[in-house]
Structure 1
Amino acid sequence: MHRMRILIAVALGAVLLVGVFAGYTELVERVVYDESVFAIAALVGVFAVLALAAILFVVDKNKKRLNAKELEIKYREQLFGMLVDNTDDIYIMFSPEGFAVEYVSPNIEKLLGVSADDVRHDIRALVDSAVDPSCDPAAEDIECLGEGECLQIDRERIRKNTGERRWYQETLYRESINGVDKYILVLSDRTREGMNSARLEQALAIARSSNEAKSLFLANMSHDIRTPINAIVGMARIAQESGEASEKVESCLHTIMLSSQHLLNLINDVLEMSRIESGQMSLQEERCTLDAIVEGVEAIIRPQAQARGQKMRIDCSRPSHREYTGDELRISQILLNLLSNAVKYTQEGGAIVLDVRELGQASPSYAKIKFTVSDNGMGMPEEFVERIFEPFERSRQASSSKIQGTGLGMSITKALVDAMGGTIEVDSKEGVGSVFCVTLDLRIAVAGEAEQPIDGPASEDEYDYGGKRFLLAEDNELNAEILIELLGLRGAEVEWAENGEEVVRMFAEKPAGYYDAVFMDVMMPIMNGYEAAQAIRASDIGCAHDVAIIALTANAFAEDVKAALDAGMDAHVAKPVDLEDLGRVLCRLCG
């Protein structure tokens, strides 16, 4: 285009010069006749010189512009070539007519071991490097590709000169260049990304395996440690109830019971914290009521407060909604941790208050519930309040007062509150007391949702064991002997099965209503407790669907409770078996 403009300018200049020269000659012939004509001719000559100079200037400027443009194109081509040579991407441009190749980046031979000339001659030369040539898009798919659209596939290719396998992401574009359609194929090496992805997947698999191993370890630890503790607590209780112990032995047995309970609490806290840190904690959504939660917590805490002469007041009358959907066990655990701390760190004769109120609805389906636990106990210094939720932190007063604890209770409480999306606040003053406020958004239960069975606050004494017959599935002989002895002292008859298969057989051999309840261990040989419970429920015996099946197991995590209920059991009591807990469950299930 620039060259055409230069040629036109030169032609016009020549025409102008010829005209000027002709006019100048005519003027010379007439100069003798008219001096004014000579003057005009002189002006025309000057004008012709200026015009010639202007033409030469334009020609020179256009020539320089053309040279600069050509130099810029060369620089771009050199830069593109340099980039192509130092990248792992291959570029191929071909036309729709017969897929004739018009450009191949020179790095194709280095990356694929395929000659660029071979590809220019026939694009199908790329097929030789493909591990699976069937991945090639069909010709009709390529032809149907619209302008600006692209096709993309991932596949493996072999570098022919080395035999190395590489992964490529291949993208085919259809573009219009100056109104002419072109196909541009880009082969991007993704081998490194693939290797990194494989490493990440391997690391994820290892992490999952590690978490599963840790979960199994924690479950086994919980089971294996609780089993001997169950024997220690059971034997101590049998010795206490025998009435044959001297005053000194009775004191020793009482210390054994207290120490066993402390050891059990320590184990529970450590295992629970380990599960939280490993991400194994899960929340269960179930229908629950504030009244049942508060009553269950009160049944456990009030006797402890009364033993220390403390006044305990509970106010749960203010919330307008009473039924919610949430993790009742975790909410109860939060309140138990706060209230048990209030009992421990409040002097004898002190006061403890649990206040439950509804702050309003966070949305049409959720209500904001605030639980406030306050006491007038020893309180905490300000510097300790700032780190109270850190693991294993204990206040100076607690250590000097020889109050037992693991320093994990508040860490667990904070983790549970966070998992539920709530908040926990602390206000404490040394020598005055402490106030803990937990706020949770609970989903308001709607009609028709299944209601979970709630253990009432009834005590062991409210259930009459006299004349009752129970079937016990327990693979540990010592644990079986302890429970048989303790229930026998209360007038109950217990028949023992050593594994799940035997308990199913014994239940099937007896007439309907023969057993008042079945106590089911979970980890047993031949057939575990879950399978045994399902087998009993599936049998055609008249009372198979109605008989109470209670899990008595050392598997005491929330997931274990849910697994027992899912297997068809009616309740879960963790080992070491607390006869008061068992009595409450039997009172609810058997009347």
Structure 2
Amino acid sequence: MIRQDLLLASLDQVAEAVLGFCARGEIIFANREATARFGYSPSEFSTMSLRQLAPEMEDDAYEHFVADLSEKREASIKVKLQTAEGCLTPVSIRARQIGDGPNPCFTCVIHRTHMAASFNNLMLTRESRLELALRAANVGLWDWDMVRDEMYFNETWYTMLGYETDAFPPSIDTWSLLVHPDDLAHALRAFSDNFSNTKSKIETSFRMKRSDGSWQWIQNIGEVVERDADGAAMRVIGVHVDIHEAVRDREALDRAKAEAEAANRSKDQFLANMSHEIRTPMTAILGYTDILAEEQTTEAQRLEAVSVMRRNGEHLLTVINDILDLSKIEAGRMTITPEPTHLPGILDDVIALMNVRARDKNLSLTTEYRSSIPERVIIDPVRLRQILVNLVGNAVKFTSEGEVRLILAARTNQDQTTSLRIEVADTGIGMKPEQLARLFRPFTQADDSMTRRFGGTGLGLTISRKLARLMDCDLTVQSTFGRGSSFILDGKLDTPNDTRWVSESGPALEQTDVILQSQNPQPLLGRRVLVAEDGPDNQKLIAHHLRKAGAEVTMTDNGQLAVEAAAEARANGEDFDVILMDMQMPVLDGYAATGKLREMRFDLPIIALTAHTMSGDREKCLAAGCSDFQTKPINRDALIKTIVSRLDASIAA
């Protein structure tokens, strides 16, 4: 027995594979090189025969090999032996009989042939190429031998997750610890679904923990490559593919799609609101014109109809202005014109305007000076007033009881600019956090039910914030649901060098509903006015206002007729004092007509009338030779005031 152990130990030191087998061909021992080269364990070899190890050997060749051994006590043969992985390796076997008797044993030394070496090199080359390809593609390889409970991870498997290859031993337990807890059950189920049935493909995705603690999305693709006689999985091989960026891109795409769908829904809702906001005042305007046309209309009914039509017309104009303002801002065509602006005057004007609505709801509307403020600041007065009217108007609209305060504070900075803060605070319905998050988005209401309840386009705050930022200011909000809101306009502004600082507070001025008239009921008495306007209704309206102000009016339908009328009047020694010029007319538009008149050395005031209010329209009119600019719809008082101002300037010149 000692001699046998020594013999076997000696054979383990041999560099070639050595097998021992009996006369029936059953393998009785295998040295260490044989187990390493062919992948079978000693116990697995002990269950095999030489015939099984060479499945492609012909029966005649095997019998001839055995016969030579019996007769000559040694024999040689070239065959292909099968490895544990199923590969056939070309070898040369040289066998020799050991001992005599009825049951002799044999040993065989297995030499790799040149073909076997080439085959082995080819396999190594292919394995290297595969590993290189996996590394280049950043694909991790794993191999799970479920019988031995052994697992293999290649280098890329580790580095893909940021680990060193010796960070932890490969095992199914390690793999399970790295999978995100929320994904583990799903990932394991993908394996178990394939272990006990004929389905071989495994494909799933999950998150795995990186070395830095972050989570990385992995796509796991595998296949059962070995099953036992009952069909249960014995070995699974697969890859890990980094799909983190793809998942993030898909999530971003899904978010963008959801946002686009939400935006479309918001726009649909916005269009529905606009339809309501436009059709509602139009219904009142058209309906009350029917009342005015009735023969039995009383004086009280007539006055009520006029009041309703005017109020609804002004509301309709506000809706249109909101839409146009947002369009101009979004198109980058909104012009901001900073100039020295009397700040207390703007504030008093806004409060006086809004006090009528506040009084109707029994609300207190006050100004509160937290500090002194500069009397004049450099800002666009029109846009500042627009923002404040919107903020105070909203505060009054959404407050049913309590108060609305306009809170003012300012300080001088080291760079000599002024930090101005104007806060509009109310005790109204307030807003929830989710409503605040979408408050300033265009086409989005804080709450659609609010819009239905309170009305309005829902564009005012969007426009106000964009206008504020165009003026290097900002508009923010603080709100508590059920307790009220505060909208804060703040920014750093320049001030004129000689600006005084003022500090006063008190109740707001009241404004009556009476339209203020000029002290002079006919400020244009004796003045000759030429009007170029192609719309018959507008002709009658403008002529009515001018004649009521005392003017003598000549009306023309287009620019060419206006030029001819002006030339004829000069020839007769009866020049017009002022020309009102519609800028968009047939035959000859207002721009060309004004140019011709200036070429003919007419230096009288020419005031542009236009429905165009986009950025640059005013400048375009002035560049054509106009003296001033009035937008449609015509405001009677503003028009008369502009004409008087231009006539006075003409006389002074």
Bigger relative contact order (CA 8 A; separation at least 6): 1
> Structure 2 length normalisation: TM-score?
0.44
Q: Which has the larger share of helix?
A: 1
Give 1 or 2 for the bigger CA radius of gyration. Answer: 2
